[in-house]
Chain A
Amino acid sequence: MIIGYDDNDDASIYKINDDIAVIESLDFFPPIVDDPYTFGLIAATNSISDIYAMGGTPTTALNILCIKNGIDDNVVHSILQGGYDKAYEAGITIAGGHTINGEELLYGLSVSGLVNPKKIMSNNNSKIGDVLIHTKNIGIGIITTALKANQVDKKLNDTICKQMSTLNKYAFEIVSKYNIHSITDITGFSLIGHSFEMAKASNVSFNIYSKNVNMYEDAIQFANMGMIPAGDYRNKESTKEYVAIEGSIDEAVVDVLYSPETSGGLLISIDKKDADICLSELKNNNITASIIGNVAPLNEKYIHIF
């Protein structure tokens, strides 16, 4: 075992020989959008994402499904179809899985992948002077809370569904050509939570400039309306000792920085010399990305938000 439970990383890695290691990851959750096919796409995208975040290539996957009693067969088929279609796009096969009946509908994948042990992308190797690149927008957890309150219009719903079902494969294929030191994907622990994990594991401080972070404007408005999920407050609470807010930042913007993300983007700690060209290539390929900060010597708090 090279990477296991204690490392707060994105998946487990088991080394077979000097050239091959197996990555394994599992994730599943209840529906966050109404359309079952879209839910399947999102759940699969989210599950497969962990493999890219370790620098690997996904190979196979298994379904994990819990069916709520009384749910229509067509709904189940649509969810699974979404999962299969996204797996196909990622170039992998879903070779079966396991289904149980329960109190709540849940779906996800257990995904296996391969990586060269020398090319594992861990989250503990950020170097002082690195630049932080972040892909996708944040604020999904707040928008899906507003969705439950019927405050989200179809256009915004379509926008977030498209983002959540976009594989990090494309972003990873680009960034992996450059000199990157650490990488992780942004999920339920929020941009700040996952940044904290990476900074702590690397024993450095991250300076994050909130104005440079791509976030949904609607999420800021919904935060002002009190549409903030409990997970957002948990993320703040569990990292408060390690995060310093420097100067005055709008309360709702801070909420969005802590928003739990579903199938979020990548956070990449990249050599400063490569940052601009890497960012340009991401943007030229229509990937939402920005430079959100830099890596500094450890200065009291792991995260400084400006």
Chain B
Amino acid sequence: MFKIDARGLACPEPVVLTMNAVNKGEKEIEVLVDAMPPVENVTRYAKNNGFEVTKTVDGNTTKLLLKK
């Protein structure tokens, strides 16, 4: 599992970090984000690249689990 902590980062940085991991061939990625736009954007990117996305919310942090 490849882990990305993108909390506190503004768009497009969370997507860029996710994209870099995908481009390196990662098939299972956990992305932590803490605002609605990155949740939506990372989900959008992942789904359009063939990943299944599972979302769990814990306080301010949203954990996105990306699986291919």
Where the two chains meet, the residues of A that have a C-beta atom closer than 8 Å to any C-beta of B are 145-146, 148-149, 223-230, 232-233
**Interface secondary structure of B, over-half rule:** helix
B40–chain A nearest beta-carbon distance, Å: 7
Would you call A145 and B12 a contact (CB within 8 A)? yes
Would you call B44 and A225 a contact (CB within 8 A)? yes
B53–chain A nearest beta-carbon distance, Å: 11
Would you call B36 and A148 a contact (CB within 8 A)? no
Chain B residues within an 8 Å CB radius of A224: 44, 48
- In the bound assembly, the distance between CA atoms of A157 and B44 in angstroms comes to 24
Would you call B48 and A228 a contact (CB within 8 A)? no
Picked from B36, B37, B48, the residue with its CB within 8 Å of the CB of A229 is B37
Given A145-B11, A233-B36; A228-B16 close (CB under 8 Å):
no
- In the bound assembly, the distance between CA atoms of A305 and B19 in angstroms comes to 32
Given A145-B11, A148-B12; A230-B42 close (CB under 8 Å):
no
Where the two chains meet, the residues of B that have a C-beta atom closer than 8 Å to any C-beta of A are 10-12, 15-16, 19, 35-37, 40-45, 48
Chain B residues within an 8 Å CB radius of A146: 12
- In the bound assembly, the distance between CA atoms of A134 and B12 in angstroms comes to 28
Would you call B44 and A233 a contact (CB within 8 A)? no
Given A145-B11, A149-B15; A225-B37 close (CB under 8 Å):
no
Chain B residues within an 8 Å CB radius of A233: 36-37, 40
Given A149-B16, A233-B36; A225-B48 close (CB under 8 Å):
yes
Scoring A146, A226, A227, A230 by chain B CB atoms within 10 A of each residue's CB, the highest score goes to: A226
Picked from B10, B35, B36, B44, the residue with its CB within 8 Å of the CB of A226 is B44
Chain A residues within an 8 Å CB radius of B48: 224-226
For the A-B complex with A145-B12, A233-B37 known, give 13 more contacts whose Cβ atoms are closer than 8 Å. A145-B11, A148-B12, A149-B12, A225-B45, A226-B40, A226-B41, A226-B43, A228-B40, A228-B41, A228-B44, A229-B11, A232-B37, A233-B40
- In the bound assembly, the distance between CA atoms of A79 and B41 in angstroms comes to 32
**Interface secondary structure of A, over-half rule:** helix
Picked from A148, A149, A223, A230, the residue with its CB within 8 Å of the CB of B37 is A230
Closest Cβ neighbor of A148 among chain B residues: B12
Chain A residues within an 8 Å CB radius of B15: 149, 225-227
Nearest 4 pairs of A and B residues by beta carbon: A226-B45, A226-B41, A226-B44, A149-B12
Chain B residues within an 8 Å CB radius of A226: 12, 15, 40-45, 48
A141–chain B nearest beta-carbon distance, Å: 11
Would you call A230 and B44 a contact (CB within 8 A)? no
Picked from B16, B19, B35, the residue with its CB within 8 Å of the CB of A230 is B35
- In the bound assembly, the distance between CA atoms of A230 and B19 in angstroms comes to 18
B42–chain A nearest beta-carbon distance, Å: 6
Chain B residues within an 8 Å CB radius of A145: 11-12
- In the bound assembly, the distance between CA atoms of A228 and B11 in angstroms comes to 7
- In the bound assembly, the distance between CA atoms of A230 and B45 in angstroms comes to 15
Chain A residues within an 8 Å CB radius of B10: 230
